[in-house]
Each structure stands twice: as C-alpha cells, then as structure tokens.
A and B are shown apart, each in its own frame.
Chain A
Amino acid sequence: MFQTLLAKEFREQWRTWKIIVFLAVFLITGILSPVLAKYTPALLKSIPNLPAGLADLIPAPTVADSVAQYLKNTGQFGILLVILLTMGVMAQEKERGTAAMLLTKPVSRSAVILAKWLAGMTILLTGLLVDGLACLAYTLVLFEPLPFGAFWTMNLLLLVYLGVYLTVALMASTLARSQAIAAAGAFAGLIVLLILGSLPRLSDYMPGQLAIWGNSLVLKGDISAWPALGVAAGIIVLALVIACLRFEREEI
C-alpha cells in the first residue's frame, strides 16, 4: 500500500513537470555557483571608472568562494523550491476531493503523509546530487578539486537543513484546508525559522548552523554543530508527528 502511494507521488511530480523544474533549478545553481565565484571579481574589476586602488582590494577568487556561493545559492533557492513543491500537496488533495476518494480505500492516513514526505525528500536528495555534481565538476575545472567526502557530507547536512523547511511546509499543508492557507502557513514557518536563526545564542542551535558546519567541513575548519543537527532532526520528527496526528483525526 505504501509503495502504491509513493509511486503515485513520484509519478505526479514527474507528470506535472515539478520534478523537471526542481532538478533544472538545482542544476543551474550547481553550475552557476563556481562560475559566479570565479568571474564576479573579474566582472567587478572591469567596471569602467572604478575608483583608483579599489580594483586591487578585490581579492582573487578561491575554492572557498565557490563553496560559499554553492551554500548560499543552494540554501536560498532550495528553501523556496521545497516550499513551493510541498505547500500544496495535502491541501490540494483535500480541496479537490481526491483525499476523500483515497481515504475511502483501505489506506493508513499516516502512510499518505509519510509517502508525500518521503517522495519530497527523495526528490530533494536527487536535486542535491545534481547540484553537487555540477558544482564539483565546475569547481574542478575553474579552481581545484573539492574534498569529495567532506563535500558530500556537507550536502547531507544541506539535505537535513532543507528537509526542515520541506517538512514544515508539509505540516502547514496538512493543517490547512485550502492551498492559500497552506502557502501562508509554509511561509510563516519559514519566517519564524529565519527569525529564530538570526537571534544571538539561539542561532547556534538552529538549522541554519548546518550550512556553516558544512562549509567548515569542506574548508577543513573546526566548526561543528551537533546541537543544530539534533534540533533540525527534532523539528522534522515533530512536524511529521503533528501532521500525522492531525490528519488521522481530520474529517474530510
């Protein structure tokens, strides 16, 4: 039964072009990150009438810039993409009546939520693979090879980081009865997490810290953020539990 639900989710993402758009944006992000890191300083230097001496202050690009660009772009685009991909998945089913059709069949309501979550996370993982491979290749060509193991560990941390937003969007979609409310809820979740992540002291424990940890891993720094990883995993589990409990009790 779970397999059937999961297969339907993948097929839906494919047939409605969502997965194509998702992977295309991640591919572009992976290519552009090292390219921007490499050529942004040169572009700045080429600006006519640049004040004297300013061009000398612009540092030469390094592999660290490529990694920083990758983290920034993947983080920003990734958050938007996972929210857009996920915010309607449950609300739409309820609004259109397909949830009522499905739930008259012998399926577990929690399995419906978990299938959507697992499909979303798998698509996100695939997106990060595409993104990461493109970044690895272009960084190799434009700079130097990135440490393979550390780079993919960083991507796993990004998976957890973006997974938090995906799960919160899924929870919002489950709690809402319409797509508009689900979208508002998902973006409200994003804003709350961003605000909490910008507060001193608290930010060390928020999912945003995972990107900093990943950066440190690749550049052989000594920052780690195990508490943030625990908090991110906790948010994911909590949001899933809330979504499942709510859906189990909901009248459709």
Chain B
Amino acid sequence: MIRIENLVKTYGSVRALDGLSLNVKPGVVYGFLGPNGAGKTTSMRILSGLALPVSGRAWIMGKEIGQPGSDVRSLIGVLPEEPAFYGWMTPREYLRDFVAPLYQLHGKVAARRADELLETVGLKDAANRRIGGFSRGMRQRMGLAQALIHQPPVLLLDEPVSALDPAGRKEVLELIETLRGKTTILLSTHILADVERVCDVVGIIARGRLIVQARREDLLAQYVTPLFEIESDNGFGHWLEWVEKQDFVISVTVSNHTARLLVKDIHTAQKPLLESLAKETLSVRRFEMVHPSLEDVFLRLTGKEA
C-alpha cells in the first residue's frame, strides 16, 4: 500500500533521510516511531508531495510519488503536525466550501460529509465559530476532519494526538481504531502508549534509517529483555555502585524509589541480586521481573538503552 525504497533527503549538510525503506501493508495501522529529528516528518512530507527526495522512490497504492501523471493526492488524507487554517473561515465553511469541492464533493454531499465529520471529531458546537479562535487541540481535530473528508484509502497522520487532552486523545485514538482494516494509516508519534494501543505494526526510525519494522507483538517478543524492578523505601545507597559494576548488568536506571535493571541473563542475575539485597540494610518493598514495554524497546533500539 505504501512502499518506500532507499529515500535520501538532505538539508544542507544534514542528512534527514539516509536510505529509508519501509513497507506498509493494506489496512494496517503503522506506528512510525523515532526520536526528534529522526526523519519522520520529512518522510511524511515526501509522501504528501510537499518535498522531493534527493534519491530513492516511494509508492502509494502502486503510484510512484513525484512522477508526471502519477498524482497520489486524491488517495491520501494528510494531517500535518501543526495543521494550519484560514482563521477567518468557520470549520463548516472550510470543510464544505473549500476542502470538499477540491475532492469533487459538492452541494448536499459536501454539506452532509462536513457535518458528519464535525460531529465525529467533536467540533459540532463550534461549527460556525471562526477557526482563528481555536485552541491547538481544536485545530488538530479540525486537521483530522479535513484529512478524512474524501474517505481516503491512505491516511498520513503526523503526531495526531500530541496537542490533545487525555479525553481528546482517547476519542481520536478510538476513531483511528474504527478505521483499522478499511484505511491504511501511517501514524507518527512520540507517545509510545498510543502506539501500543492502536498500531498493528511498528517501524522505528533513527538518523534517517529504519532500524526495525515488525508487528507490535513480534517486536516486543523479539526484543524481550530481562528486566528487574526493585522498589526500596529508603533508597539504594552503596548497593547501586555495586550493582553497576556487575558483569551481568547491562544498565541501571533509578526513578524515585524504584531501580530498573536490565540484565544479560535472568537466571544468572537473580541469585546474586537477591543475595546482595539481603546483605544491605535496604527496606525492599518489591523485587519483580517485569516485561519490557515498547518504550524499553524503543530506547534500546535508538541508542538510549533503558
């Protein structure tokens, strides 16, 4: 459905995309993950036709992007990270009189579709207010509505919930879930909980390259890493210094009264850890082996191991 092969994009001396390749199958919600500056937005801009790659190729539904006579824009709905609108227009006008006609939707069809979408994204009550007075969250909802107006087979969503409050995020993610199977969605975000919730496939990008692409469950299974979480009421004192020196420990992070230990092998690590904790005068409240989250996998793959 979406195919990218060896895309390279440079801005001066900066290599925003460095041979990016990925493949998104039909009907899938694809979570596009990466740290800031990894190349997510650049990829989205190339797929939307707003930027041109230095080299490499990309296709949407078999149509090659940037080739004469191969306009993919009627096949896609795009929500940029910061959607911008004409402040003097109302949402209803923008959708019914401006966006819908660009997709050959006119008259009653355009009006009905605009009203449906305003209701769907929770802007029905603001339908006749000027967009100029909208909050960022309202603009993001508006952005989603305009991307969906022609019921596109492919949606490119760049940080679709980043400006929304928890309730708004929940609503939008639920909306995305309703599109699963019918619409192919490429969704970039830095909120990993959202990816875990709605994405079928995850692609992790760093420094302009795809590091890994797999189904969410496969990714978690593939990168399953033994982790211990230890909670102590009186901190960890010298024990932390000791544990950091052990060969079986890959890394240690401490947050509040909880230490999170990434180890090479669970069985090798378990006994010495328990013994060392018993020797120290620590008030251990919890010692637990935990499953890694997508965040752990993400941080590990992007070079910031947990």
Residue B133 lies at the interface, judged by CB distance under 8 Å to chain A = no
Cα of A103 to Cα of B83 in the assembled complex, Å? 13
Cα of A15 to Cα of B86 in the assembled complex, Å? 11
| A105, B50: Cβ atoms closer than 8 Å | no
Convert A1-32 into 0s and 1s, putting 1 for each residue whose CB lies closer than 8 angstroms to a CB of B: 10110011000100110000000000000000
Cα of A197 to Cα of B49 in the assembled complex, Å? 42
- B102 CB contact (under 8 Å) in A100, A107, A251: A107
- Interface Cβ pair total, 8 Å cutoff: 59
| A252, B73: Cβ atoms closer than 8 Å | no
List which B73-131 residues lie within 8 A (CB) of chain A: 73-74, 76, 78, 80, 82-86, 88-89, 97-99, 101-103
| B80, A103: Cβ atoms closer than 8 Å | no
Known contacts A96-B84, A97-B82, A101-B83; is-contact A106 B102 (Cβ 8 Å): yes
Q: Enumerate chain B residues within 8 angstroms of A103, measured Cβ to Cβ.
A: 48-50
List which A195-252 residues lie within 8 A (CB) of chain B: 251-252
| B50, A106: Cβ atoms closer than 8 Å | no
Cα of A107 to Cα of B88 in the assembled complex, Å? 21
Residue A104 lies at the interface, judged by CB distance under 8 Å to chain B = yes
Residue B214 lies at the interface, judged by CB distance under 8 Å to chain A = no
- B74 CB contact (under 8 Å) in A12, A97, A106: A106
| B85, A104: Cβ atoms closer than 8 Å | no
Cα of A100 to Cα of B82 in the assembled complex, Å? 10
Q: Which of A16, A103, A105 has the most CB of B within 10 A?
A: A105
Residue A98 lies at the interface, judged by CB distance under 8 Å to chain B = yes
Residue B177 lies at the interface, judged by CB distance under 8 Å to chain A = no
Residue B184 lies at the interface, judged by CB distance under 8 Å to chain A = no
Residue B213 lies at the interface, judged by CB distance under 8 Å to chain A = no
| A98, B85: Cβ atoms closer than 8 Å | yes
| B71, A106: Cβ atoms closer than 8 Å | yes
Q: Enumerate chain B residues within 8 angstroms of A7, measured Cβ to Cβ.
A: 97
Residue B24 lies at the interface, judged by CB distance under 8 Å to chain A = no
| B73, A105: Cβ atoms closer than 8 Å | yes
Name the residue on B nearest A5 (C-beta). B102
Cα of A157 to Cα of B287 in the assembled complex, Å? 88
Known contacts A8-B98, A100-B50, A104-B48; is-contact A15 B88 (Cβ 8 Å): yes
Cα of A75 to Cα of B98 in the assembled complex, Å? 35
Q: Which of B83, B85, B86, B99 has the most CB of A within 10 A?
A: B86
| A16, B84: Cβ atoms closer than 8 Å | no
Residue B225 lies at the interface, judged by CB distance under 8 Å to chain A = no
On chain B, the number of residues with a Cβ less than 8 Å from chain A's Cβ atoms is 27
Convert A88-130 into 0s and 1s, putting 1 for each residue whose CB lies closer than 8 angstroms to a CB of B: 0000000011101101111100000000000000000000000
Give chain A nearest CB distance to B159 CB in angstroms.
14
Residue B51 lies at the interface, judged by CB distance under 8 Å to chain A = yes
Q: Enumerate chain A residues within 8 angstroms of B205, measured Cβ to Cβ.
A: none
List which B43-60 residues lie within 8 A (CB) of chain A: 45, 48-52
Q: Which of A1, A3, A8 has the most CB of B within 10 A?
A: A8
| A104, B50: Cβ atoms closer than 8 Å | yes
Residue B140 lies at the interface, judged by CB distance under 8 Å to chain A = no
| A101, B146: Cβ atoms closer than 8 Å | yes
Cα of A101 to Cα of B85 in the assembled complex, Å? 8
Cα of A96 to Cα of B89 in the assembled complex, Å? 15
Q: Which of A7, A16, A101 has the most CB of B within 10 A?
A: A101
| A101, B80: Cβ atoms closer than 8 Å | yes
Name the residue on A nearest B48 (C-beta). A104
Q: Enumerate chain B residues within 8 angstroms of A104, measured Cβ to Cβ.
A: 48-50, 73, 76, 78, 80
| B73, A106: Cβ atoms closer than 8 Å | yes
Give chain B nearest CB distance to A105 CB in angstroms.
5
| A105, B99: Cβ atoms closer than 8 Å | yes
- B52 CB contact (under 8 Å) in A3, A96, A251: A251
Q: Enumerate chain A residues within 8 angstroms of B49, measured Cβ to Cβ.
A: 103-104
Q: Enumerate chain A residues within 8 angstroms of B102, measured Cβ to Cβ.
A: 1, 4, 105-107
Convert A155-192 into 0s and 1s, putting 1 for each residue whose CB lies closer than 8 angstroms to a CB of B: 00000000000000000000000000000000000000
| A101, B88: Cβ atoms closer than 8 Å | no
Cα of A101 to Cα of B76 in the assembled complex, Å? 12
| B98, A4: Cβ atoms closer than 8 Å | yes
Give chain A nearest CB distance to B76 CB in angstroms.
7
| A251, B88: Cβ atoms closer than 8 Å | no
| B88, A100: Cβ atoms closer than 8 Å | no
Give chain A nearest CB distance to B189 CB in angstroms.
19
Cα of A1 to Cα of B98 in the assembled complex, Å? 9
Q: Enumerate chain A residues within 8 angstroms of B73, measured Cβ to Cβ.
A: 104-106
Give chain A nearest CB distance to B160 CB in angstroms.
14
Q: A101-B83, A105-B103 are in contact. List 6 more A-B contacts (CB 8 A).
A: A4-B102, A15-B88, A97-B82, A98-B86, A105-B99, A251-B52
20 A-B pairs whose Cβ atoms sit less than 8 Å apart in the complex? A1-B101, A4-B97, A4-B98, A4-B101, A7-B97, A97-B80, A97-B83, A97-B84, A101-B83, A101-B143, A103-B50, A104-B48, A104-B50, A104-B80, A106-B71, A106-B73, A106-B74, A106-B103, A251-B51, A251-B52
5 closest cross-chain pairs (CB), A and B: A97-B84, A104-B78, A4-B101, A106-B73, A15-B88
